[in-house]
Structure 1
Amino acid sequence: MDPIRVLLVDDQQLFAEALAVWLARQAGFEVVGAVHTVAAARALLATERVDVQLVDLELGAESGIELLDHARERYPLLRSVILSASRSPATVATAVRHGAVSWLSKTADGDTLLQVLRGVLRDESWIPPDLLAGLLHTLAEPASSPVLDRLTVRERQVLQCLVDGLTRAQIAESLIMSPNTVRTHTQNMLAKLPAHSALEAVSVALRSGMRPDGLGAGQVSAE
């Protein structure tokens, strides 16, 4: 398999460079660059294939949100993962609404980092369990208009399973359908909401009034 190509964007130069050296030594990963500004990141994205951008939201006078928006506009296959010292659920919610598919603390251990980077390419999302409740509460604030009526019955059932924290395999078992059919329903549902990831779809669902019956511990996953 091709290595996962990662772009690191952090204004703390020593931290970014140390992380880049460590990550480049891990099997199955390639570091495209470790940059410190939005402009430098955008320049690399324009010339290099990047699978995952690992972004700090606070880039000096700039904001990593700019890169999230840029990725959603220009590179729909690029996964955006936030690596931040912030512990604010509201900040996590903002990142999710702008396209982040996972959130990692800068104190996360190496195994968790590698697991998340691999997982996002399988359309998995990760939020630290201690931030998840606050995030869901923030995302559950009512939306200005309902959007769930756009979905078919099956698509709505798949979305409910995502809100409940089920994996694709668990959804297939619960709804008695193949994993490939779950994937098709998920892709159709994301296009209609619209949402760019399962985690963002859960955000839309919660703000539109859908509620979980029982959540998993920190992971929302649907390939």
Structure 2
Amino acid sequence: MIRVLVADDQAAVRAGLVLILGSAADITVVGEAADGEEAVALARRLAPDVVLMDIRMPRLDGISATRELVGTTDVLVLTTFDLDEYVFGALRAGAAGFLLKDVEAAALVAAVRTVASGEGIIAPKVTRRLITAFAGGGAAPAKPPALDELTPREREVFACLGEGLSNAQIAVRLDMAETTTKTHVSRILAKLDLRSRVQAAILARETNGR
């Protein structure tokens, strides 16, 4: 059972999200928060698998709340606005995914499952902007020294992350077990001091997987 905490300052929106998620047999909503501070407090107390996080909330915004929670739980940002400052802010904060509130119910449920399984997900509407920003932004940045700490196998997995491949797809391409893939991803995040596989994918694109 996937345990989810829903954080949104609009009661009607929260009710709708709870209704959608509650329709899935493998998902249970363990709590609701009306602002970022409450989201952080409840997440620390209830230990959900996924926090569905709005960005524009009182007291503490969703990006700041995400930054406080990453490392203890996965955060899936769900917002009405696809402004670059929100997209990049959420991903830099370590969000495992970014979706817009016009997402279909079935896609939202699937996204929660994806994030809970350790994968990342980004709304198709903003993916092109991310690719443009990180792959077409001029000369490639200098290679971070920490990349030299990756083993040859980890470098292969790192390059696959840059292509947006899932753990299952990486396992097939590199001919190894999916559980082994997850272990490599975890080690890559630790060595590069990254908060999420989405951040790893962005770095891989910036450095051409070097």
TM-score by length of structure 2 reads 0.86
For 2:62 and 2:141, the matched residues in 1 are separated by 24
Contact 2:43–2:51 (8 Å) recurs in 1 = no
Shift of 1:159: 0.7
Aligned to 2:5: 7
Question: What are structure 1's unaligned runs of at least 5 residues?
Answer: 213-223
Paired residue for 2:55? 57
The equivalent position to 1:40 in structure 2, one of 38, 41, 46, is: 38
- Give SS of 1:57's match: coil
- In the TM superposition, what whole-angstrom CA distance separates every residue of 1:2-22 from its partner, at most 9, and x where no partner exists? x22111111122211232234
1:145 positional shift? 6.0
Question: Equivalent residue for 1:220?
Answer: none
1:124 is paired with a residue whose SS is coil
Which consecutive residues of structure 2, in runs of 5 or more, have no partner in the other structure? none
Q: Would the aligned equivalents of 2:119 and 2:167 in 1 still touch at CA under 8 Å?
A: no
CA–CA separation in structure 2 for the residues paired with 1:195 and 1:125: 13
* Structure 1: distance between partners of 2:88 and 2:142: 16
- Structure 1 residue identity aligned to 2:101: K
In 1, Cα distance between the equivalents of 2:31 and 2:143? 41
Partner of 2:194: 195
Residues 90 and 138 in structure 1, CA contact (< 8 A), matched pair in contact too: no
Which residue identity lines up with residue 130 of structure 1 in the other structure? Answer: K
1:182 aligns with 2:196: no
Count matched residues. Answer: 206
Q: Which of these residues, 114, 117, 122, is aligned with residue 119 of structure 1?
A: 114
Give the superposed CA RMSD. 2.3
Residue 22 and residue 158 in structure 1: after superposition, are their counterparts in 2 closer, same or farther (change >3 A)? closer
Q: Show CA shifts across 1:54-84 (max 9, x none).
A: 1111114641112111102xxx241100110
Displacement, 1:211?
Answer: 5.9
Q: Secondary structure at the match of 2:75?
A: strand
* C-alpha contact 1:93 1:139 (8 A) present in aligned 2: no
The aligned residue for residue 97 of structure 1 is: 92
If the length of structure 1 is used for normalisation, what is the TM-score? 0.82
Whole-angstrom CA distance in 1 between matches of 2:148 and 2:134: 19
The question of whether the paired residues in 2 share the 8 Å contact of 1:89 and 1:138 is answered with no
Moved more, 94-103 or 12-21: 12-21
Alpha carbons of 1:139 and 1:68: their partners in 2 closer, same or farther (altered >3 Å)? Answer: farther
Greater helix proportion = 2
Match of 2:203 in 1: 204
Give the conservation status (yes or no) of the 8 Å contact 1:55–1:83.
Answer: yes
Secondary structure at 2:168 match in 1:
helix
Aligned in 2, Cα 1:106/1:154: closer, same or farther, shift over 3 Å?
same
In 2 relative to 1, CA 190–211 (structure 1 residues): closer, same or farther, beyond 3 Å?
closer
